[in-house]
Amino acid sequence: MRAYKTISIKLNSALIERILQWAQQFEEVIWLDSNSHNQKHSNYNAILAVDALTVLKTDAHQAFEQLDEYQRLTNDWIFGYLSYDLKNDVELLNSKNADGVAFPELYFFQPKKIFLFSENEVTLQYMNMVDDELESDWEEILNIEIEKAVVNDDKVKIRLRTSKDSYYEKIEGILNHINRGDIYEANFCQEFFAENTSINPLKSFLHLNEISRPPFATFLKLESNYALSASPERYIKKVGSKLISQPIKGTAKRAATLEEDELLKQQLEQDPKERSENIMITDLVRNDLSKIAAKGSVTVEELCGIYTFDQVHQMISTITCEVPASISPATILKNTFPMGSMTGAPKVRAMQLIEEFEDAKRGMYSGAIGYISPENDFDFNVVIRSILYNELKKYVSFSVGGAITALSTAEGEYAECLLKAKAMREVLENA
Read off φ and ψ for residue 413, nearest 5 degrees.
Answer: -70, -40
Burial classification of residue 241, based on how many CB atoms lie within 10 Å of its CB (0-12 exposed, 13-18 middle, 19 or more buried): middle
CA 217 to chain centre: 8
Short-list 40, 44, 42, CA closest to 301: 40
Q: What angle do CA 371, 228, 417 make, to 5 degrees?
A: 110
Measured CA distances, 201 to 205, 212, 222 (Å): 6, 16, 12
Based on DSSP, count helices (H) and strands (E) in the chain, helices before strands: 11, 20
- Sort strands 106-117 and 312-322 into parallel, antiparallel or unpaired: unpaired
Dump strand ranges (E) for 197-338.
Answer: 216-222, 225-231, 234-239, 242-246, 248-253, 299-308, 312-322
Task: Give the span between the Cα atoms of 267 and 245, in whole angstroms.
Answer: 25
Within 8 A by CB and 6+ apart from 241, the residues are 294, 322, 323, 324, 325
DSSP letter assigned to residue 326 = T
- Sort strands 2-8 and 248-253 into parallel, antiparallel or unpaired: unpaired
Query: Which parts of 317-409 fold into alpha helices (H)?
Result: 329-336, 347-357
Short-list 230, 141, 213, 207, CA closest to 426: 207
Active site residue 249: yes
Short-list 88, 16, 121, 135, CA closest to 337: 88
- Sort strands 242-246 and 312-322 into parallel, antiparallel or unpaired: antiparallel
User: Catalytic: which of 203, 221, 238, 249?
Assistant: 249
DSSP structure string for 110-127: EEEEEEEE-SSEEEEEEE
User: Catalytic: which of 28, 105, 185, 233?
Assistant: 233
H helix or E strand, kind and range, residue 387? strand 386-390
Q: What is the set of active-site residues?
A: 233, 249
